Chains A and B, each alone.
Chain A
Amino acid sequence: EVQLVQSGGEVKRPGESLTISCKAVGFSFTNYWIGWLRQMPGEGLEWMGIIYPDDSDTRYRPSFEGRVTISADKSSNTAYLHWTSLKASDTGMYFCARRHHSGAFVVIWGQGTLVTVSS
């Protein structure tokens, strides 16, 4: 079965670092753009950035540039989303996704990872 399996929910304090993961199952990980979307409480979904695992070409939505880092490990078919210093405003649900080759819509979604940042 083709799926993206995300790591479990996290509770962190402001200023802490965090990495969440997304493992691709059932398809060729290196041949697709894989990305992350954020859904803040009561807000809509938005793309944060994408990576092409074959060559690690990474692109960020301007509003997320410098705030997070997206990476991928071809050997384990896993993509990552990393924060160096969390803020309370990073609280939300994060989805990994496989982007269609012709446009920024999602063909395959992960189940979501809830990140809670609170002091």
Chain B
Amino acid sequence: EIVMTQSPATLSVSPGERATLSCRASQSISTNLAWYQHKPGQAPRLLIYGVSTRAAGIPARFSGSASGTEFTLTITSLQSEDFALYYCQQYNDWGTFGQGTKVEMK
């Protein structure tokens, strides 16, 4: 099974700053990588798929990139509504999720 490792577990960021979240796959997953945002008590939300394609309605401050098996979600100029838990997921076969990165206010 492909293991997805997210880092850091918690990221403390001030509003207006940039947040960089990492996700590493244990083996090649091509471009089958998605990112989700999850706030307590709400349904998670798809942000990015195919490494870098923003889902419908997702602001341009969210972007995704890759280098081999290392994947990055960047949130430029963090807004108050962006403080949440973020998951990456590889979607080969049934897929596997990372453990998540919590973005908290500094």
Contacts and interface: CB of A to CB of B under 8 A. Distances in A.
Given A4-B43, A106-B44, A47 B94 contact: yes
Contacts of A45: 87, 89, 97
Interface in B42-88: 42-46, 49, 55, 87
A108 B43 CA distance: 8
Interface residues of B, number: 24
B contact face: mostly helix, strand, loop, or mixed: loop
Contact of B44 (A61, A95, A103, A104): A95
Contacts of A47: 94-95
A110 B91 CA distance: 19
Contacts of A107: 46, 55
Given A47-B94, A105-B91, A107-B55, A3 B43 contact: yes
Interface of A: 3-4, 44-47, 61, 95, 100, 103-112
Contacts, number: 55
Nearest to A98: B46
B42 A105 contact: no
A109 B44 CA distance: 6
Given A44-B98, A46-B97, A100 B49 contact: yes
A105 B89 contact: yes
B46 A104 contact: no
A105 B46 contact: yes
